[in-house]
Structure 1
Amino acid sequence: MRVVVIGGTGHIGTYLVPGLVDAGHEVVVISRGSRQPYREDPLWVEVEMVTCDREAAEGDGRFGTFVADLRPDAVVDLTCFSTAQAEQLVEALDGQHLVHTGSVWSYGPSTLVPTTEDAPKHPYGDYGVGKLAIEEYLMAQDRVRASVVHPGHISGPGWMPIGPAGNVDPAVIESLRADGSCVLPDRGGETIHHVHAEDVAGLHQACLERPEAATGESFNSVCMQALTLRGYAELVARHFGHEPRLEFVPWAEFVTRLDPEQAALTMDHIGRSPMFSMDKARALLGFVPKHSVTDTVLEAIDAWVASQ
């Protein structure tokens, strides 16, 4: 296939684009040209790179036509955050397979876990509400064949993963690395559900290569297991050679010890306490994530430490 990947130099595209080339597809990447992929791969030399400021092109009403003029058989949209963006793209296409990157935030708080794709959705916050609206639009229209992939907390070498306190405060990792200590809210029983960027890419590719099974479907994209905050902190402490020294405090006290932005990020994660099922991807597409949750977070943390 000739596959156009929108936003192909980010976390997911770093793995997806070489994977598509390796599988024999002709790949065109649309990006702003402002950054390089997170990892080197010789297959990038076979990729057609196209520079486009999506926001500016959408403002002029020409982005959808710009994509259609590249003559794709399929499109992967990694950077769509509103129904207006989705509509402009879909209305310019004609029957292609469109794989859209959604988010587990579209579900809202976890209730029955592991959460499956047919669970009722009650998102909150602009991001989750917006991602659900896009999914509903794509599943209702009939101009393209649509599939949606809902990643959890995307992790991998090159950026700080969501950490054991449910945020990206580097001091949490440094403290666990130094002496195994960590402050957690309540009893640390809330869950966070990571996924390696390579597995998110792999599921997008599985949708492209099994269109008869993927069309009209959405798929969770997470590791096979989730971590509790407590379990995560213990894992990291022992990884650095320490017995865990965990302190549990009520939420009201916990937030006083954090930067307000980090506290808000923690609540974003533990307020949803995500834990999702990967059964549907395995049943319909034969896809199983390669990376365990422990390997995913430790690989990302080790890479971050090495970069300091």
Structure 2
Amino acid sequence: MKAVVIGGKGHIGTYLCPMLVKNGFEVVSITRGNSQPYEDDYAWKDVESVFLDRNKCSNFEEQVISMNPDIIIDLVNFNIEDTKKMVEAIKKSNVSHYLYCSSCWAHGMAEILPFNKDDMNKVPLDEYGKDKFASEMYLKEEYRKNGFPATIVMPGQISGPGWTIINPWGNTSMRVIQDIADGKEIALPNFGMEIIHHVHGYDVAQVFMNAITHRNVSLGESFDAEAENSITLYGYAKHLYEFFGHEPKIKFLGWNEWCEYEGNKEECEHTYYHIIRSGTFSIEKEKRLLEYKPKYTNLETIDLAIQSYIDRGLISVKR
């Protein structure tokens, strides 16, 4: 069978394309530039790489279909109109499975925990989440009415070595990690009880892979791609102090005071949208239907990412 992965060398595709090859698939990776996967794998020699930019190609969907795929995994679709165009193109083809990458951002603020992945009344907080949720709703309706072969996967905060992860402030500033590495005191917003959802890119790819191999039970369904557990801002900061061999030095500030302390308006907004959606996820459905077994805990994923920072010279450690 032939699988086309749109965004094949990104956070998820880095692991998914080799998985597909090792499971006997003919694989095409579509990227908009000459990017390289985050981790090397011998299986990449058997992946066909195609450069195609969805935003610059007026007949993107038709070009994808012309590759004669059996399966399309759409990892970089951020617009409901692009989802509609892809669905219409697939209807005229022999594609038997379309896997759409949504996001935990499609959830709004948590009410009852854990989040209900099948909730059709979610209220996303920003345009990114609203577009993702609109695509989810559209695909579910297409499945219900027309039997369209869609599966939805909602990753948490994809993390691991090689890219920037969400830090204990709920943003991507290096300052807080460097301060912790130096043993300095840091401040967290509120009481540090908001929740962050790190998940290794490998495990997100595993959910997609298992949804393909368990097609009969994954069609028309939504799945979370998460680690077994999540972590509070406080627990995260405390863990990093221990990682760097220091005693925790953590204080707490009210939101407005903390934003003044953080000092970067853009990063404060980044924090706001991460922590206002605090909540927990259950992966029991994924285990039951897809036989999903996360390879990495959230702490292992965090440690790999932080070690990558050190190895790349982004964080300095005093010896």
- Give distance in 1, aligned partners of 2:97 and 2:293: 22
TM-score of the superposition, structure 2-length normalised?
A: 0.93
- Give distance in 2, aligned partners of 1:204 and 1:140: 21
TM-superposition CA deviations, 1:12-40 (whole Å, max 9, x none): 00000011111111101111133111111
Name 2:112's counterpart in structure 1.
112
Which of the numbers 66, 71, 75 marks the counterpart of 2:72? 75
The reply on whether 1:270 has 2:275 as its aligned counterpart is yes
User: What SS does the corresponding residue of 1:301 show, helix, strand or coil?
Assistant: helix
Q: Does structure 1 retain, via aligned residues, the 8 Å contact 2:34–2:51? A: no
The reply on whether 1:261 has 2:262 as its aligned counterpart is no
- Give distance in 2, aligned partners of 1:124 and 1:212: 33
How many residue pairs match? The answer is 305
- Give distance in 2, aligned partners of 1:41 and 1:3: 18
Name 1:63's counterpart in structure 2.
60
TM-superposition CA deviations, 1:192-221 (whole Å, max 9, x none): 111110000010111111110100000011
The reply on whether 1:54 has 2:54 as its aligned counterpart is yes
- Give distance in 2, aligned partners of 1:156 and 1:181: 26
Cα RMSD (Å) of the superposition? 1.2
Q: Which is worse superposed, 111-120 or 266-275? A: 111-120
The reply on whether 1:194 has 2:175 as its aligned counterpart is no
Name 2:317's counterpart in structure 1.
none
- Give distance in 1, aligned partners of 2:37 and 2:166: 20
Name 2:234's counterpart in structure 1.
230
Displacement of 1:181 after TM fit? 2.8
Displacement of 1:180 after TM fit? 5.3
Q: Does structure 1 retain, via aligned residues, the 8 Å contact 2:160–2:305? A: yes
Name 2:138's counterpart in structure 1.
137
- Give distance in 1, aligned partners of 2:279 and 2:309: 24
1:305 alignment partner AA: I
2:65 alignment partner AA: A
- Identity in percent: 39
Name 1:26's counterpart in structure 2.
26
Q: Does structure 2 retain, via aligned residues, the 8 Å contact 1:91–1:143? A: no
Q: Which is worse superposed, 211-220 or 103-112? A: 103-112
- Give distance in 2, aligned partners of 1:24 and 1:173: 42
The reply on whether 1:285 has 2:290 as its aligned counterpart is yes
Unpaired segments ≥5 residues, structure 2: 314-319
1:140 alignment partner AA: E
Displacement of 1:4 after TM fit? 0.4
Displacement of 1:274 after TM fit? 3.1
- Give distance in 1, aligned partners of 2:272 and 2:178: 21
- Give distance in 2, aligned partners of 1:131 and 1:17: 23
